[in-house]
Amino acid sequence: MPVDLSRFARIALGAWPTPLEECPRLSAALGGPRILVKRDDVNGLGVGGNKLRKLEFLLGEAVEGGADTVITFGGVQTNHGRQTAAACARLGLRCELVLTRSVPRSGEAYERSGNVALDLLYGAAVHICQDDEQTAATYRRVVAEARAAGRSVVTLPVGGSNGVGALGYVAAAAELRSQVGDPGPDRIVCPIGSAGTAAGLALGTALLDWPVRLDAASVSHPPDESLADIRRLAAESAALLGVPVPALDHVRVTDRALGPGYGVPTEAVWEAIRLFGRTEGITLDPVYTGKAAAALIDAVRSGDIGANETVVFLHTGGLPGLFGYAPELIAAVRG
């Protein structure tokens, strides 16, 4: 069924369609599966990334509702926060980022480089909180101050993941479907954190009756929780679209590359980053795309992905976050 998104408020932020690139040297290095990379990391605004697709709908709704101030959340090196800051700069909105030290890391690179530096460059107000309690208190204060100043506030969820944000990846499914031709890929591989990306893709592919499998590699949550998040968000988007919720039997979540937890890269992640960089000149990050690529590599090596398959790897961005891990990056890539 074609999906009509035209009745939703939407503000153009990214450059679409993003490229879909053949990766023959990466495929050869892995001994078989044809791998294409969908380059949602190079979609333009604010160094790019998957959040721009969600923000087109989220900020479309916010601006239509008269908001002049956007508040959102994330970890210290949140890519979502950085893209929200860039989008707000472009739209002339005030951006408040209420960030939590949710990753067991500190140091100059993590706290003052990468996304944090860009948040400030794009003019956001950055509030770094020690824990969830301080985050909640800071959020209440920022809202109260904005309202007292006569501002109209909209709050976006972590990762921009709600039913409206996930519409961005319903649109992305249709964009990708028109790029792949026939026969299409056997599966799409993507990272999953707050789940809006995978939920939109899951719903979008189902509504298109596209017989492709979706493998989401968790970077933060146990797989059953992530699958529940996909179902909840896909149901929210389906309700907005006025369509029944599809079964989503084509969706799997794996934690095969999660390692010790969110924001903690493993040696397999650094190996994946090196492999993509050295075979195709593609930059992954250690928190999201590096973990999804490590899951892809492990699935190929263990035979779960066959040598004759065609796989689309969704590159969701995250480049600035790589520099938050500069010391480990240098250690991992030095000859």
Ligand X SMILES: Cc1ncc(COP(=O)(O)O)c(C=O)c1O
Which residues contact ligand X (rule: CB under 6 A)?
Answer: 49-50, 79-80, 159, 161, 191-198, 285, 288-289, 316-318
User: Between residues 24 and 39, which has the closer beta carbon with respect to ligand X?
Assistant: 39
- Quick one: residue 92, left, alpha or beta (phi over 0 = left, psi -120 to 50 = alpha)? left
- Record the tokens describing residue 303, joined without a space: 């035979």
- Record the tokens describing residue 241, joined without a space: 């679209």
CA distances in angstroms from 82 to 105, 131, 162, listed in the order given: 19, 20, 18
Residue 221 backbone phi and psi in degrees, to 5: -110, 160
User: Between residues 35 and 293, which has the closer beta carbon with respect to ligand X?
Assistant: 293
CB of 217 to ligand X, least distance (A): 10
CB of 78 to ligand X, least distance (A): 6
DSSP H stretches of helix in the chain? 24-29, 51-64, 79-91, 108-112, 114-121, 132-148, 163-180, 196-207, 223-241, 267-280, 289-301, 319-323, 326-333
CB of 70 to ligand X, least distance (A): 16
User: Between residues 87 and 244, which has the closer beta carbon with respect to ligand X?
Assistant: 87
CB of 295 to ligand X, least distance (A): 13
CB of 119 to ligand X, least distance (A): 13
User: Between residues 198 and 257, which has the closer beta carbon with respect to ligand X?
Assistant: 198
Q: Are 25 and 279 in contact (CB under 8 A)?
A: yes
User: Between residues 114 and 159, which has the closer beta carbon with respect to ligand X?
Assistant: 159
Q: Which residue, chain included where needed, has tokens 């149901």? A: 235
User: Between residues 122 and 140, which has the closer beta carbon with respect to ligand X?
Assistant: 122
User: Between residues 230 and 311, which has the closer beta carbon with respect to ligand X?
Assistant: 230
CA distance 3 to 171: 8
CA distance 236 to 243: 10
CB of 193 to ligand X, least distance (A): 4
Q: Are 56 and 168 in contact (CB under 8 A)?
A: yes
CB of 28 to ligand X, least distance (A): 26
CA 250 to chain centre: 20
User: Between residues 151 and 283, which has the closer beta carbon with respect to ligand X?
Assistant: 283
Q: Are 316 and 41 in contact (CB under 8 A)?
A: yes
CB of 252 to ligand X, least distance (A): 15
Mind giving me the DSSP string for 179-239? Answer: HH-SS--SEEEEEESSSHHHHHHHHHHHHTT---EEEEEESSS-HHHHHHHHHHHHHHHHH
